[in-house]
Structure 1
């Protein structure tokens, strides 16, 4: 069987339709349709249910998808082991992580990875927890880092890299008290700014505000740098990993406040699929991340 057919089929399921899958794979739509039809002829039964909103797998399609993942993993392992340099780390490694982790924790490691493993090509992709874990399941990522108080997804091996400190920050000109925890009412009146939904610590702060005022709907921002600049300009307060605001706290552009209650302890988790074979390159990067990404100060 041509494994390209399996890859196309899995992409259709992930993308939710033929057109979206073709765009992702760089094929014309008719090519992906032909691949699916070829699989359906081999299986002797429909593999997809077509409906106006896209496609979904039939019972046979779900079974095929389960086996197809294993077949593609085995193909990847076979091709790697057949190369003369199979014992050495070589090839691409794709890592998903929150924006703050990519920019402030992983980017400084790239020179070390390049020096130790010159034949490894490491790619970083910003992603929240749900997106990162989905990317692992869909084989679009090899490793992921997720920032959560706790996490226990099925089929995933986890390494706890430690607690990551958070800071509630405001502009240096803020009138909010710094010597004591601010009250929920003071926080609610301070114009809280948050990252997009799915960010665990922003969502926790949103829930705290909602408990005080259910009508409260703080604005959400798509990036940490934009959020920091808005806070520094006096537009409100926000909660961010301390490592991302260390420079601004040091030079006085931002000041740290005491939150009104204890917030959940955020841990950084290194995640990898349990059943998927890991190439030497993936194992090497996993080891580097496990050894050199200590808890944030």
Structure 2
């Protein structure tokens, strides 16, 4: 192990390359999580509701065993199982021309995009932090955040099955020699949740409507647990600006109606990544160049 650590420190390009390749594989798994986890959640909710209402339990048309590992991945059009040789990240998509090998149905561009994004994010973490425990922890965080971003974009859900373990992991990571002292991490988790919760309650009192979901509160608390309370204002401001700009663009293009809800989680996640990697530089630039302090 010491040999590999030394090699990666002396040859950082090798470490970054291997991490990027691993990212492609993990990105393929994230595609499974993004697709299946909301279906699994919906199925469990329906069963719980039927049991509570003392109704006959129906399990829809899904296989009896349906989880992240079983059954094998299948074509969304013809339901043909996908062989391993056609399940190579990115490469299989290119060789197949973005179409199923069996029915020629189109394969969504989302799949190679998630794989490439995962590879790029993990490679960036490898370049920034090197072969360290911090790299390993932040890579695990990044994998969870990618899954959360796409699930929220698809379903407007931020599953507790991902958010809460990552929040607790952030607190554990900061017990000793983490990103911030533990007291800042605890304060960050509390402030992250309560800040958006307060905005939610105020908006509800003023308008009578719910402006965001509780998953957004937990997501910001997650970033507070990892980064402490100091970057949270930057994350809130950045996510608001990014989300508003996207919403205005969608309205202008006619792809979004004014009263339609829009997921906020992806913008919190993007802003959180920016704060993680470049937060100090952004704050320094703002204080010196904009405020002249």
TM-score (norm: length of structure 2) = 0.25
Between Structure 1 and Structure 2, the one with more strand by share is 1
Between Structure 1 and Structure 2, the one with more helix by share is 2
TM-score (norm: length of structure 1) = 0.24
Kindly indicate whether structure 1 or structure 2 has the higher relative contact order, using CA contacts under 8 Å at least 6 residues apart. Answer: 1
